[in-house]
Amino acid sequence: MWADLATIGRDADSGGYRRYAWTGADADCRTWFQEQAEARGLTCETDRNGNQWAWLGDPPPASGGGSPTAGDAVVTGSHLDSVPDGGAFDGPLGVVSSFAALDELRRRGATFTKPFAITNFGDEEGARFGLACVGSRLTAGRLTKAQAYELRDGDGVSLPQAMEAAGFDPGIIGPDPERLARIGAFVELHVEQGRALDLSGDPVGIASAIWPHGRWRFDFRGEANHAGTTRLADRRDPMLTYAETVLAARREAELAGAVATFGKVSVEPNGVNAIPSLVRGWLDSRAPEQSALDVVTAAIEAAAREHAERNGIDLTVVRESFTPVVEFEHALRDELGKILGGRAPLLGTGAGHDAGILSESIPTAMLFVRNPTGVSHSPAEYAAEDDCLAGVIALADVLEGLACS
Ligand code: HGY
Ligand code: MN
Ligand code: MN
């Protein structure tokens, strides 16, 4: 299963993955998901927002099982899209482990007493359109159709245009409360994006919370000019203000106990011998509490405005994505702890997930699998096979405890 998926969307040079929403690689991942589902006799459907759901179907009445309207379905899954040159595990480990956990439950002869499904949520990384968790946000009603229609990729292609080109009808996107009302619990397994489990020596952990985090676009507008003939005193160079802002971001993050990253930048006209007219920088900032995140982002923007003022640069700042703090529901979190017999420590994370977005609508929980280096959003992302198998067994134990007799 893992090997079949591993070749999809992988860049030969970097070894990283480029599985962006509504592209060919995304379509190939969706085909892979459908094949895995159908090979297990699951009914695969794609919801109005492009998320894939593979249903085991309703348990036979004899088992006293619920029905899809009972609101007690147990769902597990994750996402298959990636950041640019992302690693093999972020997302796919959760989806592959879901299918493997079902195989394990069948090997155990477990009997489902609740409806069960495996999901692939679309566009979790927001690598193409800049907003994280588009598929789950739409379904949870945390992104409106109008807002989704405003999303553009770097080539100016809108989200609806991209969906249409991929054969999906963007006209039907929107909240899906009926679907969420069928679900009693959603559990997402994910590779840890940090080293807490490596430090504690545990193969599997349970999520306690997700830090509040967001993405802000800084547009620094200056004056294009000749790199060789323009006196320094006559320049309005936005690259200078951008650079000063990047340094300010690191300083303010250290002061606030937060993290701040300018990982993406675009320059116009992007010529070696031309002073830029426009530099766009995207800030990703996160903090353990909302108050710290507010402090650090306000301080970074204030520093940027001060430098812009001094350098004669026009600055606009737009918040493109934001996710408030997530405290996973204690009852489900503790149920997982009980099922795993205290073998899995609780840990927080600075990484966003679909389980975080859905947590406002339904009870959700997460399992983390040890990542020995903590590296993620990189081709170097890695998890040992033994730990991945421990994750599958833990997920099977959890699903058996939640959905089987
Ligand atoms: O950026 C994140 O936190 C997640 O990987 N989408
Ligand atoms: Mn990610
Ligand atoms: Mn992820």
CA distances to 24, 181, 300 from 304, in Å: 38, 45, 6
| CB of 26 closer than 6 angstroms to any ligand 1 atom | no
| CB of 237 closer than 6 angstroms to any ligand 1 atom | no
What distance in angstroms lies between residue 258's CA and the mean position of ligand 1's atoms?
Answer: 16
| Closest atom of ligand 1 to CA, residue 193 | 5
| CB of 191 closer than 6 angstroms to any ligand 1 atom | no
Q: What is the pLDDT of residue 67?
A: 53
Nearest CA to ligand 1 atom 6: 125
Residues near 106 by beta carbon (within 8 Å), at least 6 away in sequence: none
Tokens representing 92?
């796919």
Q: Which residues pair with 119 in a beta bridge?
A: 53, 77
Give me the sign of the Cα torsion angle 372, 377, 379, 383: positive
| CB of 130 closer than 6 angstroms to any ligand 1 atom | no
The rounded distance, in Å, linking the Cα atoms of 115 and 51 is: 18
By the CB criterion, residues less than 5 angstroms from ion ligand 2 are 90
Q: What is the pLDDT of residue 57?
A: 76
What distance in angstroms lies between residue 306's CA and the mean position of ligand 1's atoms?
Answer: 30
pTM, to two decimals: 0.94
What distance in angstroms lies between residue 57's CA and the mean position of ligand 1's atoms?
Answer: 31
- Could you tell me whether strands 364-369 and 183-191 are parallel, antiparallel, or unpaired per DSSP bridges? parallel
pLDDT tens-digit profile, the chain (405 residues):
999 999 999 999 999 999 999 999 999 999 999 999 999 999 999 999 999 999 997 654 434 444 555 689 999 999 999 999 999 999 999 999 999 999 999 999 999 999 999 999 999 999 999 999 999 999 999 999 999 999 999 999 999 999 999 999 999 999 999 999 999 999 999 999 999 999 999 999 999 999 999 999 999 999 999 999 999 999 999 999 999 999 999 999 999 999 999 999 999 999 999 999 999 999 999 999 999 999 999 999 999 999 999 999 999 999 999 999 999 999 999 999 999 998 899 999 999 999 999 999 999 999 999 999 999 999 999 999 999 999 999 999 999 999 997
| Closest atom of ligand 1 to CA, residue 132 | 6
Residues near 118 by beta carbon (within 8 Å), at least 6 away in sequence: 37, 42, 53, 54, 75, 76, 77, 95, 98, 99, 102
198 neighbors 370 (Cβ within 8 angstroms) = yes
Q: What is the pLDDT of residue 65?
A: 46
